[in-house]
Amino acid sequence: MIKVIPFFVFIFLFALTGCGSGGSASHKADRFSASYGMAKTRPDSIAARRIVMVETHSGERLDTVYYHDGAYDKKELRKINLLFRDRHANQIGEIDPELIDYLVDIRTRFNLPPTVTFQILNGYRTRETNAMMSRSNKNVAIESLHIHGWAVDFRVPNVDGRAICEIAKTMQRGGVAFYPKSNHVHVDLGNIRTWKEK
């Protein structure tokens, strides 16, 4: 039986969706969308999750098993928050662990080893830092999901960013975009969408 969605529901969903890199995200929105058969995919079922990351500006490196024994390790998540901190404002935000799961699952799709290094270009941003960046970079959305700890810009050495982008799109986890000028990929936990570098 086909479910008819009232017009006002479409309007609400459109407001939640946004477009391009500025689409807003919320887990409440995800649950609402899921009730109409539009649920995003969930992280892969893995006994333990390890990731190696380096912050490209500072060279700070983290090799962490942040999920094991059926739960996220809060101590290791704090280390991730620290690595992803806003270095302009010197402030730490809370990174959604499913964002890190997204990276790990991308790595799995490429059959890369757990020791492969993710180069992190941008993680958490304060609103002030994001506003400053948006004034000089038209690719930065005013209401960026970096503000909420739901987005990351990254590279994987010796892996074509275009290929990463295409694989990430098939995973249906959120927003995905490739930036050819810097050969980096943006992924987030917002609505499923993509866009091109401006």
Torsion of CA 135, 13, 169, 145, to 10 degrees: 30
Please report which confidence band the pLDDT of residue 137 belongs to, taking 50, 70 and 90 as the band edges.
low
Helix and strand tally (H, E) in the chain? 6, 8
Q: Is the dihedral of CA 151, 144, 86, 81 positive or negative?
A: negative
Task: Assess if residue 1 is contained within a domain.
Answer: no
Contact 173, 151 (CB under 8 A): no
Domain count, the chain: 1
What are the tokens at 4? Answer: 């008819």
Taking only the tens place, the pLDDT of each residue in 36-77 is 345 688 888 989 999 999 999 999 999 999 999 999 999 999
Domain that holds residue 42: 7-196
Predicted confidence (pLDDT) at residue 178 exceeds the cutoff of 90 = yes
Q: Residue 136: what pLDDT?
A: 67
Task: Assess if residue 57 is contained within a domain.
Answer: yes
**Mean of the per-residue pLDDT values of the chain:** 83
